[in-house]
Amino acid sequence: MAGSWGLGQKIARLAEGKKLRFMEVCGTHTVAIFRLGIRQLLPENVELVSGPGCPVCVTNDDYIDKAIEYSRRKDFVIATFGDMLKVPGSRSNLAKSVAEGADIRVVYSPLDCLKLAQENPCKKVIFLAVGFETTAPTQAATVLAAKEKGIKNLFMLSAQKLVPPALRFLLGDAKVKVDGFLLPGHVAVVIGANAFNFLSGEYHVPSAISGFEAEEILTALISLLEQIDSGKAEVTNNYRSVVKAEGNIAAKRILTQVYEIVDADWRGIGKIPASGLKMRDEFEAFDIERIEPVEIERVKEKSACRCGEVLRGVINPTECPLFGKACQPLHAIGPCMVSVEGVCAAWFKYGGNSFRV
C-alpha cells in the first residue's frame, strides 16, 4: 500500500488550490474504488462521482416488464445473468416471477443458451441481452453460432448500450459538472482508445483509460491532474497491457455483422441518440420482439427514486431520500441498489465518502 500512499500524496500536490470533480464511467471501477479505499487516499478537494457505468442500472422499466411478460408464457424459458433477477420493473421483478412458477434460468454466458435451447426444443429460449460493448460481442457470437448450428428456438431480448454516446449526452447536460473522465478499461479493450478521442478533440475534457488495481486507478487520476495542470486535454491510455488504440478488431467486426446502432432508452436518463444496438434484418429470426412482440402498459417511473440523478453524477446516493431506508440491497427500490456494480449498493456496503485519512 506504500505505493498507493505515495501516489495519493502526489495527487494532493497536483490538486492543491483546485476543487476538482472526476467521474468514473464503469461499474467495476466504482466497486474497486470503494473496495480499495481510493476515496480515503484523495484530498477533500478531489471528488469522485459515478456515471452510468452499470448496465443493469440503466436498463429501463419497459425492458423488465417485457421480460416478465414473456416469462409468464408457458412455452418460454428466460435465461439471464443473476443480477437481473431483482431489477425492478414498473410493478414487479423476475425473482417474483420465479416464485410464481416462471421458468427462468441463471446462466454465466450467453453461449450457455445454445445448449439450453438444444435441450428444450419445444420451448422458446430468450436470453436477456443486457450490457455494454464489453459483453455485446459474446451475445453477437451466440447469435452467429445459433445460426450456424441451425438452432431456431433461441432468441435475444436486446437492451445493449454504448458508452461513448452516453458521455456525449452527459457533456451536454448542464447539471453534470465534471472536470475529467476515468474511462472504462473493459469497454476500451473492445472499442479501442481512439473511440474516446472526441472527448479531447470536441469537448477539451481530460480523460484517462484505467485498469482496476489501486495503483492503476491512482495513476490515471494523476494523468487527469497533469492534463489540467498543463491546460491540455488528452485521452491517455493507462491500461496499455490490454487496451490498443484500435481495440479488438475481431470483436468489433462481429458486433457490426450482427447489430446496427439505434437510439436507446436509459433508465432515469431518457432516450440517448445512437446509444443502443438492434439486430440487423438478416438476423431478425433471433429477435424475439420481431417474432413475437408483447404489449405492456407503460407506467411512470417511481418519482421518489433518484437513480437517474445518481447515474448522471448530479447527486450522491445519500442525497436520495430512499437510500438506506426504504431502499436497501435486500429490498431495493432502484436498480442502483440491486446490481453488485450499482453505485448505491457500493455506497451502502462500503460507507460512501464517510471515511478519509
The model's pTM is 0.92
> What cell does 96 get?
417474483
Tens digit of pLDDT per residue, the chain (357 long)?
458 889 999 999 999 999 999 999 999 999 999 999 999 999 999 999 999 999 989 998 899 999 999 999 999 999 999 989 988 888 899 999 999 999 999 999 999 999 999 999 999 999 999 999 999 999 999 999 999 999 999 999 999 999 999 999 999 999 999 999 999 999 999 999 999 999 999 999 999 999 999 999 999 999 999 999 999 999 999 999 999 999 999 999 999 999 999 999 998 789 999 999 999 999 999 999 999 999 888 766 556 889 889 999 999 999 999 999 999 988 888 889 988 889 999 999 987 544 333
How many other C-beta atoms can be found within 10 angstroms of the C-beta atom of residue 322? 19
Provide the pLDDT for residue 355.
Answer: 37
Cα–Cα separations (whole angstroms), residue 11 to 22, 105, 220, 238: 13, 46, 10, 16
- C-alpha–C-alpha distance, residues 77 and 324, integer Å: 34
Compute CA distances 205 → 30, 231, 244, 280, whole Å: 20, 10, 21, 34
Domains of the chain: 52-209+217-304 (3.40.50.11740), 307-347 (no CATH)
